[in-house]
A and B are shown apart, each in its own frame.
Chain A
């Protein structure tokens, strides 16, 4: 287990390094001058030059890359061109919204998907299986922003139970924060839950056909125990894989939902930074996301080992 983890860690670091080169060079060829964007159409050439110097973008490419990577290694993400604050502070503010949102959505989707998937698998071929899986198919097909608008009109405009959008900040109270994240989390969770339920069902079906399930039933174990303790545990590997992928998506890919609810999340930070050519912010966030995906993958590997003891010794 330990050498295995060490090897994964090393691969992860190399991936990060490769990502830094790719991210930096892709953004380098992107047209657009951040100074011009800040100062607009009436800016004089001297003012533009002065600002470029202030931002440090008048330096040669290689020098800027090395500076940036050296900074990353010491935890210094640089300073935003537009906000002129440390990038790490900007990211931290956004993670305080995006991470709880992603976790909430993931928890909701798992709580819905696992029981539904297991239930459908255990009732394979019956009307209730067809119905739940039909619903899941609808859930996969519904665009989440449309579903989000629907939720807003019903719960915020009609019933006025929750705000229509925005985020008051955690300092205004945990409950207020959660209320603001509730609709976004639900609209993110539902399509994810639909996918996860389908994956759970098919993984369960595969396991339920195995010999040891029949043996377990034959030796008199109750149906529920077989289903939840023996079958689900063995079906968890593909489910965990999907959950890992979904978490990465929920953290980074929620820009549309963030726009619908005007939440100050990571997605909007990146979007805004790209349109303002605040490249150092884009680079910082992308690197953070790459690191997260690597970390989540490692975590999923560890979870495999917990779910399936055979994997602990096999490698």
Chain B
């Protein structure tokens, strides 16, 4: 009898233990390539900042969802005046910052005015350029007046650069970010990792994870063993070259999604011979996108024919504008006065898509007689020589900001492209908020730069996600630079 009791007791213990073992785990380790310089998304352009704090630690008036759509966040709802110039936001009540202070309209006013101020170091100051004044009507109502209607205003407020910060803690956000999000910042071990933990006082639906650690693993060769050994559970952006090594492994899920990164052969339109449309058309005809995608990102990535994301509803497939045709390319080059081709330079920044894709592009252009000298540069040099001083012929770069076709309308941008018809379309886009009309204008804009062959339009940079097969809710696409963990959980 005693034996039986002992046996039953032991079974009970084992049962209790195994049920504990089967409860879903609540910790997560993510591998990310770059360490952010600091953690304040309102004071730096580094994508690595948003990839940790956006939607997790910080929230804005609106937020960008998984498919790039604008969703309410700290603003529960809003009304837009008939002239499109005044936005009245109804703010969520009962929201507190992680330091315990309450969130009110004054905080949003402070945030926006700080970003617009003369001494502001906001990397996307242009997002706020239409704002004329901000008024906190009462703690839960905010009124923003624009000096002209702006179709993209609600979208702009969803950027990481527009998240709401508290006046008391804004200056310390670089080191210790304090937001309103479902996760609180816990620790930053410099050079190693950033850890965030669940915010028990979150206003919205609580997150399933108790703790998430972003571990910095810069080396592609180190990413594979980190995943295989189980040290790291998820890589939102796994090195494209390494994906095939884990693709057949049932322990992992490989999800190829889209980013907002248009990868282009950027061309100096202001410099001979690239100022000649025929030369640019010849280059466009000489590029074989499939081959480039194979070389640059292991075959992952969607071909593009203009500067626009295929994931966007306003996307128009223009890859057929100048199809791959070497003979035609040669003929165009001869027409332009270069029957024997010419030589130039191709400056390549460090990412693999540029360095590896550049080799393919150079060999394709050599087919039509354009002899390119490949010049590898680091980012700092690229920003200075190519971007700021426009001292380049051709370069390869991925433009990762969402919806950034308007850069082609900028004066003095590094493409040196100038087209009044295009500028007019962008100007109209800035004022129109009707979705159908906007899509039409976006289509028009895509066509103009595609036909002008401003740059060699190559492919949309893929988001090669790899994670534990039991993990649910990771984002497939990257419509904005973020690793939103609010819906992530372990399957039981």
Contacts and interface: CB of A to CB of B under 8 A. Distances in A.
| A37, A44, A262, A278: residue with the most chain B Cβ atoms closer than 10 Å | A262
B388 A42 contact: no
Interface of A: 30-33, 36-44, 46-47, 50-51, 53-54, 82-85, 90, 93-94, 97, 149, 152-153, 156-157, 160, 163-167, 169, 259-265, 268-269, 272, 275-278
Nearest to B227: A164
Given A31-B381, A36-B384, A42 B123 contact: yes
B118 interface: yes
A251 B193 CA distance: 22
A41 B383 CA distance: 8
Contacts of B229: 152, 156-157, 160, 163-164
| A36, A53, A93, A149: residue with the most chain B Cβ atoms closer than 10 Å | A36
A263 B216 CA distance: 9
Contact of B118 (A37, A46, A157, A260): A46
A37 B45 CA distance: 8
Nearest to A149: B221
A177 to B, nearest CB: 12
Contact of B380 (A163, A264, A276): A276
Given A38-B123, A46-B118, A46-B125, 10 more contacts: A32-B378, A33-B388, A36-B387, A36-B388, A37-B383, A43-B125, A83-B37, A97-B191, A156-B231, A166-B231
Contacts of B124: 42-43
B190 A90 contact: yes
| B120, B217, B383: residue with the most chain A Cβ atoms closer than 10 Å | B383
Interface residues on B, range: 35 or more
A32 B44 CA distance: 16
B354 to A, nearest CB: 15
Given A47-B121, A50-B119, A277-B380, A82 B189 contact: no
Interface of B (DSSP majority class): loop
A54 B416 CA distance: 31
Contacts of B231: 156, 163-166
Nearest to A40: B45
Interface string B413-435: 00000000000000000000000
Interface in B255-271: none
A223 to B, nearest CB: 47
Contact of B191 (A51, A93, A156): A93
B219 A31 contact: no
Interface string B351-379: 00000000000000000000000000011
A269 B123 contact: no
A275 B46 contact: no
B191 A82 contact: no
A264 B175 contact: no
B174 interface: yes
Interface string B23-42: 00000000000010110000
Contacts of B248: none
